[in-house]
Amino acid sequence: MKKIRLFNIEIHPFTMQETVEQISEWVMAEARLNRYVVTPNVDHIVNLDSNVKFKEAYQGASLVVADGKPVVAASKFLGKALPEVVPGSDLVPAIFDHFQHVLNTPLTIYLLGAMPGVAEKAAKSIHATWPNVKVVGLHSPDFGFEKSERASLEICNLVSQSQADIVVFGVGAPKQELWSKQYAHQLNTKVILCVGATIDFLPGEKIRAPITVRKIGMEWLHRLFTEPKRLAKRYFVDALIFPVLVYREWKTKT
């Protein structure tokens, strides 16, 4: 698959449709190769610049697609244009739609992440919206699970026993990517989607920005207003560092 090198990582220049079709192809295959998918946004790019382990996790991913209009805009400015954003929170329902309405074939998934009770609500929402998609397992990991080999291996066993085609993995970055790098090969699944708060969005536990706001690339502002304590510092730091990284990339290119 073609890749574009930006910010010292390789990104696949895929549209949403191409991403859905590639993941669906992996799911429809017999082999269970435990591939994991990551979606770099501005915060990822900033952290990747200094976090070696995070960068190694990205190198182990089978698919890297851009999540965030600033990343896509920067790619065009730098002459390495990515076609469009592929947010994880849009990718998951797009895959479900594809199996429901295009392929009309069953898909099994495991929901790994979110606070206790949220995944159960997400499962009900999924079953009501996409009858072909079956949630065959769910688990809300304890805080600090990634630091415990015992807890991590228990999760591997739970996921493996479910025989899920796809793991929707949402515990936030870089935790979900680092954990996938270390344990993906033990999950006995086909695809792991590292998609942050997506499990919270599915049942409406967290409200996404209106579609018009998303289209103009301002979903980050909506999230800032809804979760100011958690996101204000991160967005402030990202706003300072990301332009510097873009400038550095531009200087390297020229």
For residue 151, give every residue at least 6 positions away whose Cβ sits within 8 Å of its Cβ, in sequence order, or none: 141, 142, 145
**b or e along 28-48 (b: 16 or more beta carbons within 10 Å of the residue's beta carbon)?**
eeeebebbbbbbbbbbbbbbb
- Vertex 25 angle, CA 95 and 132, to 5°: 45
Number of domains in the chain: 1
* Tokens coding 113: 């992440």
> The domain containing residue 73 runs over which residues?
4-253
DSSP summary character for residue 37 = E
What predicted TM-score, i.e. pTM, was given to this entire model? 0.92
From the number of C-beta atoms within 10 Å of its C-beta (0-12, 13-18, 19+), residue 158 rates as middle
Cα–Cα distance, 99 to 113 (Å, whole number):
23
Average confidence (pLDDT) per 10 residues, the chain, 254 residues: 94 98 98 98 96 98 95 97 96 98 98 96 97 98 96 98 98 97 98 96 74 65 64 78 96 78
Q: In the prediction, which pLDDT does 239 show? A: 86
